[in-house]
Amino acid sequence: MGNKVATFSEQQLEDYQDTTFFSRKEILRVHRRFRELQPELVPRTMSMEATRDLRLPKSLINTLPELKENPFRDRILKVFSSNGSGDLSFDDFLDLLSVFSEHAPRELKLHYAFRIYDMDGDGVIGPSDLKAVIGRLCQHERGLTPAEIDAVVEQILDEADVDCDGHLTAMEFSHVVARAPDFVQTFHIRI
């Protein structure tokens, strides 16, 4: 067998396969990407404790090409960070890439998209969340005036807020996004 170093125990690999949408080979590829971010800190062999406790700072994770230009990168990292800091453990990093994989079900992607767009974390997407989302999406465009943003928010709520309570629940959000055929392709990161 030579000098091959085992990155994970058999049990760890089985557990990761059971809790993600990745094969063993893909899990090892994710570890390699994680380790490449800071090789002097991330060991080649990962103990159970290291996969949970060793964290890479969000400033390093933000350098990944898949996140670097994403206007929601800070929200993505916050949502997937198990301690809410935006810094990611290997387990957090693996979860993030698993949810963004092509094999993750649409419903799971919708759940996380909702959490990412719920900017204030109150469990609903209200007008302030929508304004923040629109602002981020339009930052590279000419920019919308506050009146135009208010009009877009009003239009979204008119069309999607079924119970007319002034915000979108996860179910209302899912119903709206279900009409967007390219959602699954845009909510995707290739490893």
pLDDT value of position 3: 44
The pLDDT of 75-98, averaged and rounded, is 97
| pLDDT tens, residue by residue, 136-159 | 988 765 678 889 999 999 999 999
High-pLDDT (> 70) share of the chain, %: 95
Instruction: Tell me the domains of the chain and their CATH numbers.
Output: 10-69+90-99 (no CATH), 106-186 (1.10.238.10)
- Can you tell me the distance from the alpha carbon of 6 to that of 11, in angstroms, rounded to the nearest whole number? 12
The pLDDT of 10-33, averaged and rounded, is 96
pLDDT value of position 6: 77
Residue-averaged pLDDT of the chain = 92
For residue 56, which of 75, 43, 42 has the smallest C-alpha distance?
A: 42
High-pLDDT (> 90) share of the chain, %: 81
Q: How many CA atoms lie within 13 A of 127 on its CB side?
A: 12
For residue 174, which of 165, 166, 183 has the smallest C-alpha distance?
A: 183
DSSP result, 39-64: TTTS-SS--HHHHHH-EE-HHHHTTS
Amino acid 7 reads T
- Can you tell me the distance from the alpha carbon of 101 to that of 95, in angstroms, rounded to the nearest whole number? 10
- Can you tell me the distance from the alpha carbon of 14 to that of 18, in angstroms, rounded to the nearest whole number? 6
| pLDDT tens, residue by residue, 24-72 | 999 999 999 999 999 999 999 999 999 999 999 999 999 999 999 899 9
The pLDDT of 83-102, averaged and rounded, is 97
Phi, psi of 125 (to 5 degrees): -105, 105
* The model's pTM: 0.91
pLDDT value of position 142: 67
